[in-house]
Structure 1
């Protein structure tokens, strides 16, 4: 049974069902505000997890704004191979707190950072174009990692990074990633009952803001990704992705290995022991084969 909407979202649904036809401009502005990232308030456990990391900082200059932001990063371990963890929208490096110890046990260096407008990084707003830019600026300052493991919308940002031939990695795994920005918005619009006309106006405004068609912000085909090995991990019951579309994408891209679980959840999938084991095996396979 679907979870009931919070009171604020029920109010939005009432607006879009009954009032948005006569107030379309307000309808678009409300969506614009709703989809600004909100900084997560971390509990004691995640705060303690970050306290065990070595902090670092780097600058990222917005691809759209030209404004330089100071982004905060976290590093664990000192192994010869680095794994970069990329969180999703309104996410945090703490989402990977069960994966990091497993990676350290395997001898990797693990790095992550708070995306713009997330965690302790600067910024008030962000989007997938700026998230990709942040990843690009990180690799320019620190070098390319051996592997990238990305969650949710972070998977799209990382995939867009890897369409550039100068940013090749050996392994790329994306976990619970929507196929596109528009697909993610459409999933969120459905319970709010946002009318098609408002959606079109929202996407038109978003395209102007991003300076590119919204449909171009998507997971590219496997042959456009500069990674030696690819893995897609999904919960078939995840309400934040359209799994039928994901299956079609993976079927059309057989170079992407796939791993499926059920009943875990969009964020908890990163803490699910079989998923952690699958990700570790995905990274370790090449190391063991080349040993």
Structure 2
């Protein structure tokens, strides 16, 4: 998150810093609502990319509920090998608009879909467990892709997919991805100055909802990720990830090729020309 607190969050910041210790139940309920994704309107250039895609849809059976939802997919090109793009929280497939043309020129088919509760897909809320399940259901529908390129929490969900995949993908690129569910939450908690007591209550409720400890939802060591080659892309100044943890993870998993830049930004990484070129070259190599 940026250093300057967005205007819309000033009220939450005041509440969590000064009032939430005396109202922990309300604080947790409010935080639960804060982490529901908002469907953001598309910009003109994003709409243009999606308008040129072949549409498809498939269903995903809720990992935590018995509810089945329809997910909206997009496909470009007809190449024999498919690169699957996975957007991040409150993102959409058009976030990859700078990357798609290069992959198509290299002869790949490119596929993406709106994650649950995003874009034109169904659902009112989602989480990493449901996002992973959507990726599992995509592979059942379309088959295992040749490569996966994923941004932010989409990369975390894709890593969870690859830990349990029946067959490996050839390439996996994760861009600005938190290494665990707590890492993603803690960046927001720190910015809003949420007291530790409220954080503990939130994690307890979330663990009950997810039916597993929250800290277990994390990147595995590289030997457990079913991908032949991996590329990690980060901005060292990105305040939406815990970069110190990223450095430790990459040092302990030397088989992952790193690309670290500075001063680009969490979302702008996907539009930064040197990053786009490196990802394109990595997929083609």
- Equivalent residue number for residue 159 of structure 1: 159
CA distance, structure 2, for counterparts of residue 166 and residue 181 of structure 1: 23
Q: TM-score, normalised by structure 1?
A: 0.96
Q: How does 1:67-146 map to 2 (within 5 A)?
A: 67-146=67-146
- Equivalent residue number for residue 248 of structure 2: 248
| CA shift for structure 1 position 54 | 0.3
Q: TM-score, normalised by structure 2?
A: 0.98
- Equivalent residue number for residue 10 of structure 1: 10
Matched residue of 1:69: which SS? strand
The CA deviation string for residues 38-74 of structure 1, in whole angstroms up to 9 with x for no partner, is 1111111111110000000001010101211110000
Q: How does 1:17-96 map to 2 (within 5 A)?
A: 17-96=17-96
| CA shift for structure 1 position 3 | 3.9
Number of corresponding residues: 284
Greater relative CO, 1 or 2 (CA 8 Å, sep 6+): 2
Runs of 5+ unmatched residues, structure 2: none
| CA shift for structure 1 position 165 | 4.1
CA distance, structure 2, for counterparts of residue 154 and residue 194 of structure 1: 25
CA distance, structure 2, for counterparts of residue 275 and residue 167 of structure 1: 28
CA distance, structure 1, for counterparts of residue 8 and residue 232 of structure 2: 34
1:191 aligns with 2:191: yes
- Equivalent residue number for residue 282 of structure 1: 282
Runs of 5+ unmatched residues, structure 1: 286-291
CA distance, structure 2, for counterparts of residue 202 and residue 245 of structure 1: 22
CA distance, structure 2, for counterparts of residue 217 and residue 38 of structure 1: 23
CA distance, structure 1, for counterparts of residue 17 and residue 261 of structure 2: 35
- Equivalent residue number for residue 229 of structure 1: 229
The CA deviation string for residues 21-44 of structure 1, in whole angstroms up to 9 with x for no partner, is 110100101100001011111111
| CA shift for structure 1 position 7 | 3.2
The answer to whether the 8 Å contact 1:93/1:112 transfers is yes
Matched residue of 2:178: which SS? coil
The answer to whether the 8 Å contact 1:103/1:110 transfers is yes
Aligned CA RMSD, in angstroms, stands at: 0.9
CA distance, structure 1, for counterparts of residue 45 and residue 267 of structure 2: 16
